[in-house]
Amino acid sequence: MRVWAVFTLTCAMRLVCAQNAPEVSAMNDPELAAWLLAEAKRQVEGCRKPASDGKTWIYTPDGSAHYNAHWTRDFCYMVEGFPEVFSEYDLRRGCEYLLEHQREDGCIPDRVDASGHAVYGPGPGTWKSGFGDRAADNGAFMAKLVGHYTRLTGKSDLFAANTDKLERGLALIPRGDHGLLYIDPAKPHSPYGFTDTIKKTGELLFSSLLLWEACGDMALMYGQIAQQDEAQRWRREGRRVKAGLQSLWDDQAGAFFAASRDCRQHDVWGSAYAVFIGVTTQEQTRKISRFLVSHYEQIVQRGYVRHIVEPEGWQATLVPVPVGRYQNGAFWATPTAWFCRAVAVTDRPRAEQTLRDLIRDFMAHGVNECVNDEYKNVPDYVASATLPLIACRDFGWLR
């Protein structure tokens, strides 16, 4: 059974267009979207591997064996961008496989490999590595994943069977004075996983946006199993986080800061994502959109988007990362859909052109994790292909 019927598509167009630049440039928007849909399907199917338990497919972040395990956040991004490609059973087992390896203290795994070996923090998952023994975001991503399952299937069974695990995963998140996710400057560790090499400390923007989403999902799911007191508790938590986000708002610039202590810099991804998930006021939404448009040349390359405005690098990192590389100044496809939705508020033509540029670059150079001029990292990166499908739907290129 499929969650939704999988689109019947041919890859012939992709093969022809990749070899023929004039045809690529002449393709209309629905044709570009159809190519991306077929490519995303190929990427998801190419990253799927059987687990040793004999009943689970794991979905690795890429098809090139660079990240060879089932990552919590990457699986979430595959489901968010391309839910149609997953059967109900595979979606449920993908969630259960992570929950089955929850640590005794409540920590949700960062990843679990095909043999069932779980790692709880980025890198080797230890404090000695500099990354810490946990990531800041997996509890929220796990709640979001179960929320996706619940909405897509209309079933509450997965949530009902795992309420305690989700509660413990979210309870492990340290909170600051404003209710936001907090990392102690005296004991830094990895924040949001797509900046896990960056030393953000104090109260954090992006991880708190994920927490706000998780609060909404928990309230929704408790409501569906008729536990209204618990639903109301999570609605209150969501309001607390939303109010706390204002402590990171820079009204003069029209953007949010990434953190309150180390790396108190304007967060391109986080500001766009705040608009994308609908946590901003109307005035903030327009200001963020104008901020992104006004800095467009410093944050976009071939449709890929930088974490912060060029030529800045992050003010502090957990491990050495040269400016212009990886999470310290390379350009990524992960946030392009968020960026496009925010930019479209004030400049829809520019937002649509960003998406066209990204898809055409995929055709010419492959689907990469991140790029910067001639530099590129991790080919066949699945979230890079699945998340931009959201923008294709936003613009009406896919129906």
pLDDT in tens, 138-180: 999 999 999 999 999 999 999 999 999 999 999 999 999 999 9
Cα–Cα separations (whole angstroms), residue 148 to 89, 152, 159: 13, 6, 11
189-234 confidence digits (pLDDT tens) = 999 999 999 999 999 999 999 999 999 999 999 999 999 999 999 9
Residue 266 confidence (pLDDT): 98
Instruction: Find the distance separating the first CA and the last CA of the chain, reported in whole Å.
Output: 21
Element (H, E) at 319: none
Low-confidence spans in the chain with pLDDT less than 70: 1-22, 125-128
Element (H, E) at 314: none
What total of structural domains would you count in the chain?
A: 1
Residue 63 confidence (pLDDT): 87
**Is 108 exposed, middle or buried (CB count within 10 Å of its CB: 0-12, 13-18, 19+)?**
buried
Q: What is the extent of the structural domain holding 389? A: 12-394
Q: How far apart are CA 243 and CA 251, in angstroms?
A: 15
Exposure b/e, 132-153, CB count within 10 A at least 16 = b: bbbbbbbbbbbbbbbbbbbebe
Residue 196 confidence (pLDDT): 95
**Is 75 exposed, middle or buried (CB count within 10 Å of its CB: 0-12, 13-18, 19+)?**
buried
DSSP designation for 194: G
**270: Cβ contacts below 8 Å, ≥ 6 apart:** 205, 206, 209, 256, 258
Find out whether 92 and 148 touch, Cβ atoms under 8 Å.
Answer: no
* 7 is a domain residue: no
With H, G, I as helix, E, B as strand and everything else as coil, classify residue 117. coil
Find out whether 233 and 167 touch, Cβ atoms under 8 Å.
Answer: no
* 70 is a domain residue: yes
Residue 22 confidence (pLDDT): 43
* 2 is a domain residue: no
378 φ, ψ to 5°? 55, 90
Residue 270 confidence (pLDDT): 98
Strands 255-256 and 300-301: unpaired
Q: Which ranges of the chain would DSSP assign to H, the alpha helix?
A: 12-18, 21-26, 29-47, 72-81, 88-99, 138-153, 157-161, 163-171, 206-224, 228-244, 268-277, 282-294, 296-299, 336-343, 348-365, 382-386, 388-394
CATH of the domain at 63: 1.50.10.10
Residue 127 confidence (pLDDT): 55
* 90 is a domain residue: yes
* 133 is a domain residue: yes
pTM: 0.93
CA 223 to chain centre: 26
Q: Report which of 200, 205, 217 is spatially closest to residue 316, judged by C-alpha positions.
A: 200
Q: How far apart are CA 158 and CA 169, in angstroms?
A: 15
* 33 is a domain residue: yes
